[in-house]
Amino acid sequence: MDCLRSFTITIDQVLNFTTAGTNVRVWNAATGNAWTVLDNVSESRFNVQGFKNINVFGVKMQGYCSPIITGTSGAIVEDFGFQMVFGGQSPILGGDFTVNTYGAVISNQPINLTKFNSKFEFSTPIQSANFIEIGTFFAQGFGYQTLNNISLSINASFIVYYDFEG
């Protein structure tokens, strides 16, 4: 991706999750106070505009997700990530599924970028990209702050690698 251009989309936000909102689950596995967060309601969509279309070759996430520590209570974030969707034309291959128990599709489906898998590259780009959407946020860890509650500070930059079409 050395010859490609890039731009960055940045998220810098503090979010509070609670079991009352149904987007966090907690359990006391040997008093470890494990928790998991799934926020599939929030999204940010960047509409690509300009005099030329772009081809997206990949994306890289850099940043952190850390708990807001209050008094003597806090949490540890083991992993976090975002789901991304690129709108555009994916390479079309001929074929069909004979058995499709998993409901697999050949199209622009969400990709997951996580703390441990922070880079996604396309050998053949998504052509004529018209939007980039940052969707579902997920995180898990242990030691929630107060009963059934976790507040997280999220700072993530998404570096999108592209070139101009044509």
Statement: residue 138 has pLDDT above 90: yes
Higher pLDDT, 103 or 33: 103
The torsion angles phi and psi of 21, rounded to 5 degrees, stand at: -95, 0
Strands (E), the chain: 5-18, 24-27, 34-39, 44-47, 54-67, 76-89, 111-114, 119-142, 149-164
**Quick one: pLDDT band at residue 145, thresholds 50, 70, 90?**
low
pLDDT tens, residue by residue, 107-123: 767 899 999 999 999 88
Statement: residue 69 has pLDDT above 90: no
Other Cβ atoms within 10 Å of 4 Cβ, number: 14
Residue 85: exposure state from Cβ atoms within 10 A (0-12, 13-18, ≥19):
middle
What is the DSSP secondary structure assignment for residue 72, as one 8-state letter? T
Write down all domains in the chain, each with its CATH number in brackets.
5-90+105-164 (2.60.120)
